[in-house]
Structure 1
Amino acid sequence: MGEVVNVIVAFAVIVFIVRWATSPGNDSPEEQAVARALRFKPKKVTPEMTQTVAGMFPHIPQENIHYDLLRTGSVEITTNKILEKGFLDPPSPAYFTLYPRTAAAPNPAGERPAAAARPAAPAHTLISRFRLEERVDSVPAAELEDIGGRATWEDTAEKREASLRERKAKMVLAARQ
């Protein structure tokens, strides 16, 4: 019986020491409240981190990106999650009480987000993008029929680039017809 008591006391002392050694004793009460609300201790996230991931994946909402960065603290881990799953989990409701929607991706000096700062792009067609306006009606349909054939390997990079550019132009013109 005495040995069982010694084992229990030793186990309790070890648990107490491990908890004391790993406890975050230097957190402010605000940080502890945030950690309790989110149910995890948030990592430090800079606006640049959020903008980096948002630049790579503009279809992912910035709230999701910021929330995942708070969890992981790493741009690499967040981008790997997006690449593996194709999406990020939405933030919990507690996230929106701590980080309102306007502050989900904090911007330095009150700048507008990158998506809002970009002017609306004019609607360009492939014809105008590849500058094929003069060739639209001048290329015979018979020439466009063999656009899917194999390309020959050219000697120089400039010739290969010109060949690729011409094949793209033919594909755009064939799609138009």
Structure 2
Amino acid sequence: MGEVVNVVVAFAVIVFIFRWLTTNNESPSERSAADTLGFRPKTVSQDMIDTISNMFPDIPPDNIRYDLLRTGSVELSSNKILERGFLDPPPPAYFTLYPRDTNAEQAGTRPAPAVAASSTAVKSKQTLIDRYNLQERVVASGPIISEADIGGKAVWEASSEKREASLKERKAQMILAARQRMLAQQQKTAP
């Protein structure tokens, strides 16, 4: 009986020493994400981060990723932003797993999705004159639009088509008046 107890104690000591040696040999970089963050992270795609950052551009992407790692749901993270107005910043341990992009921080901007960048480039090349098809009105450049005619109060029209036409005309007048002011200002500054 005494030998059985000695064998069990020796076996327990060997198991304890084996576990102690194997856990202490791991470096901090080899620790799992769950050990580092303190919770088991959910899978997060770049589309999920882009979706929330498009809805709430003032929330930092690191805060968004950290909250998505906790919740795993765009809806829950969006609701948290709507209820509280912010997302908690990630702890320092988060940055060991997800280091910050130093190039984006130095530029002062966050990396934007390629699709959004290309659509912004197309929009920036298109002028308001082109967008609202006012080329013939600019070429005609008939009488100067007075400040009183710009915008103003619209009369409530009976049909939606007339209201839409009235709104389009007011937009056109505002765009043309802004163009006239810009040209006048350029003429003043040019010798």
Q: TM-score, normalised by structure 1?
A: 0.57
Structure-2 change in CA distance of 1:65 and 1:161 (3 Å):
same
**CA contact 2:145–2:173 (8 Å) conserved in 1:** no
**CA contact 2:44–2:69 (8 Å) conserved in 1:** yes
Q: Which one of 117, 128, 131 corresponds to residue 130 of structure 2?
A: 128
Q: Give the C-alpha shift of residue 166 in structure 1.
A: 1.0
Letter aligned with residue 124 of structure 1: Q
Give the structure 1 partner of residue 13 of structure 2. Answer: none
SS in 2 for 1:154: coil
Identity in percent: 59
Letter aligned with residue 158 of structure 2: D
Higher relative contact order (CA 8 A, sep 6+): 1
Give the structure 2 partner of residue 154 of structure 1. Answer: 157
User: C-alpha distance in 2, partners of 1:36/1:156?
Assistant: 65
Could you list the runs of 4 or more consecutive aligned residues of structure 1 that deviate by over 6 angstroms after TM superposition? none
2:168 aligned with 1:165: yes
Q: TM-score, normalised by structure 2?
A: 0.54
- CA-based RMSD: 3.2
Q: How many residues align?
A: 135
Letter aligned with residue 113 of structure 2: A
Give the structure 1 partner of residue 113 of structure 2. Answer: 115
Give deviations 1:35-92, integer Å, cap 9, x for gaps: 3312344334344422322333455443332222112333223224445666545433
Letter aligned with residue 166 of structure 1: E
Give the structure 2 partner of residue 39 of structure 1. Answer: 38
Structure-2 change in CA distance of 1:147 and 1:62 (3 Å):
same
User: C-alpha distance in 2, partners of 1:83/1:135?
Assistant: 45
Which ranges of structure 2 fall in alignment gaps of 5 or more residues? 1-30, 102-110, 182-191
